[in-house]
Structure 1
Amino acid sequence: MSAGTTALVLTALGALLAGCSGSGHPAAAPKPAAAAATLADIPATPSADVPSAAPTDLSALRLPIEQYVLTPADNALLNQASWVLAGDCIQHHGVTFRTPTALTHQRSGSEVPRRYGPADPAAAAQYGYHKAPVPDQDKVPTDDMASLSQADRVTVHGCLADAQKQLSGDAAYGSSRIGEQINSRSYVKATADDRVTAAFAAWSGCMKTAGYGYASPIDAYNDLHWGASPTADQQEIATAQADITCKRQTNLIGIWYAVDAAYQQQQIQAHQAELDRDRAAEQRQLDEARKALTRSPGSN
């Protein structure tokens, strides 16, 4: 994966990976990870039902793998329950530590509107290629980890790891590892697919006509100029708006999504048993998390 592709896919997908570090919370101490499943090497190129016109409502599109991986809202629920359970353990050991508050208003819908770069003209008009600001109530407060002694940090990490184990049981904590692998691999494979690179070329031609010299939307997204300022300037906003216009004119997102989904479906069929197992484990964790929060008088 190129550096540019890495930057776009990480931003587009958001915090899908499970665990405290994925939500901005202090990470638990390293622990032995469950053996990661290996994706089957499927050399055949899957067929894709590419729409003839650009989709008008990206939020209505769901990638096949989304039913097997946790959403940001799911991860926020697990993290909140983990810290609630860990809190009793931390207090029992006599450590004074302010556990992070719950993340709110996390996404639970389709990831498609964020996966392929700017797609919303209204958002682009305000933020260009920058992320929209996070509401104050969604910000994670600074925790007290830095003020703790090394011994107390070990205690806190250990309590958090134990809490996660309470939620996950014999399964790996958080989202399906193989599901996350499929989610990221399909993006990379689709981005290199001839059908998508042809759409990139068409998009690039459209952008050239508008006065912009980018070979792909990934290059536009990762233009170093955008990082020079904390907010979008008029040049960035104009570029993002042209980007979206050209995506629509060339049906780039429709093609990209269709090919991406085809690669995912191919891998899902090859790993159906593992994904079904992981999905059941995810649901058990979420059920245990809700029970933990229901039992806790201080939870929201």
Structure 2
Amino acid sequence: MRRRGVVCVAVGAVVLGFAGGDLGTGGHAKAWADGTPVVWTEDEMPELPLERYEFDGGDEKAYDRMESATRLLTQRCMVRHGFADFPLDPKYPGMSQSYTTTMVAVSTGPVGLYGLGQARRWGYGWDPGKNMRPPEPRGREMTVEESAVYYGDGRSEHSGCYGEASRRLQRGLRDSKRMWTYVTDREAALQRQAEREPRLRRAYQVWADCVVDKGFERYADPVDAYDSKAWKRGQDGNTRRSEREVGTAVADIECKRAHNTGGVWWSVMERLQRRELRLHRAEFESVRKDRDRLLAQSRKVLEAT
């Protein structure tokens, strides 16, 4: 094994309560002596400081509630304009006749996949019998006349009934655009910064050495391995699941576990995010207040039905 790999193993051995094992959340260390969490599965990745400021804010149904409130307010507006049977969740004009194949966008977390069982069976893809396309609207297709009222003049995102609904829910917000973009933009910038951090660069090097030692190609990092064009993703976003792909995916995860790549990534990001919060706490708090106000107004609309 290369020297860097030996060093990582030596450091990783200084842990609290290590005991072998392969699957699940038990049977391995919970933290290194320096506090770096040991991450074997996605569920073991601790929350990062900026996550509490994201739109979902730990509530994965938050966006769905806002969308439901928007659809309800839009429907009421359409009824006021004389479209008494306007559906709550309409299809767009021409949607029923569209046979265009949709390219499914696939992505993974900043440290790639962690499901060892999935990797052994599907590589970097998934069960082809599983439908990964987002659900289509359940209501009928709106007419061209309805569409004109629904979208308005098209010159502004706040025109038409849909725009009216958006204005109602965003009433009182200090900066709706910043609410949607600020946290994700800062997270992306910090991710780019993290990739230049010496500690994470060393961790990726050790991970890459480990993958090569198992007989597979060298990749810059786990996301680079996941996104490789060699897996020949189709328009549905799935891969071909070749023997080479499956072997690489398994080696990828085994090496992340062996050298705690995910834990090191989290530790680096946690430090950068805490510094970001210290420098820009007022901006983050303003974003959170706008988000909470929007969600509160969405809940009020839904509870009034």
TM-score by length of 1: 0.68
Q: Whole-Å Cα distance in 2 between the matches of residues 210 and 257 of structure 1?
A: 25
Q: How far apart are 1:131 and its partner, in Å? A: 5.9
Q: How far apart are 1:97 and its partner, in Å? A: 4.9
Q: How far apart are 1:62 and its partner, in Å? A: 0.3
Identify if the C-alpha distance between structure 1 residues 204 and 146 changes in structure 2 by more than 3 Å, giving closer, same or farther. farther
Q: How far apart are 1:147 and its partner, in Å? A: 5.3
Match of 1:123 among 118, 125, 143: 118
**Aligned 8 A contact 2:231 2:242 in 1:** no
Q: Which residue of 2 aligns with 1:238?
A: 247
**Aligned 8 A contact 1:50 1:254 in 2:** no
Please say if 1:154 is aligned against 2:151: yes
Match of 1:86 among 74, 86, 95: 74
Q: Whole-Å Cα distance in 2 between the matches of residues 124 and 94 of structure 1?
A: 54
Q: Which residue of 1 aligns with 2:230?
A: 225
Higher relative contact order (CA 8 A, sep 6+): 1
Q: Whole-Å Cα distance in 1 between the matches of residues 80 and 126 of structure 2?
A: 40
**How many residues matched?**
236
Match of 2:135 among 115, 128, 139: 139
Q: Whole-Å Cα distance in 2 between the matches of residues 246 and 62 of structure 1?
A: 23
- Could you tell me which runs of 5 or more consecutive residues in structure 1 were left unpaired when the two chains were aligned: 1-48, 102-112
Please say if 1:248 is aligned against 2:243: no
Q: Whole-Å Cα distance in 1 between the matches of residues 77 and 222 of structure 2?
A: 48
Q: How far apart are 1:201 and its partner, in Å? A: 0.9
Q: Whole-Å Cα distance in 2 between the matches of residues 54 and 166 of structure 1?
A: 45
Identify if the C-alpha distance between structure 1 residues 276 and 237 changes in structure 2 by more than 3 Å, giving closer, same or farther. same
CA RMSD of aligned residues (A): 3.1
Instruction: Report which of the two structures shows the higher radius of gyration computed on alpha carbons.
Output: 2
Q: How far apart are 1:51 and its partner, in Å? A: 4.6
Question: Residue 282 of structure 2 aligns to a residue in which SS?
Answer: helix
Percent identity among equivalent residues? 24
Amino acid at match of 1:124: A
Task: Give the number of the structure whose residues are more often helix, by fraction.
Answer: 1
Identify if the C-alpha distance between structure 1 residues 140 and 183 changes in structure 2 by more than 3 Å, giving closer, same or farther. farther
Q: Which residue of 1 aligns with 2:188?
A: 184
**Aligned 8 A contact 2:170 2:294 in 1:** yes
**Aligned 8 A contact 1:68 1:176 in 2:** no
Identify if the C-alpha distance between structure 1 residues 97 and 114 changes in structure 2 by more than 3 Å, giving closer, same or farther. farther
- Could you tell me which runs of 5 or more consecutive residues in structure 2 were left unpaired when the two chains were aligned: 1-32, 91-107
Higher alpha-carbon deviation: 221-230 or 82-91: 221-230
Deviation string, structure 1 residues 136-174 (Cα, Å, up to 9, x no partner): 9x7233776785356345239622222122122132448
Identify if the C-alpha distance between structure 1 residues 93 and 128 changes in structure 2 by more than 3 Å, giving closer, same or farther. farther
Amino acid at match of 1:277: S
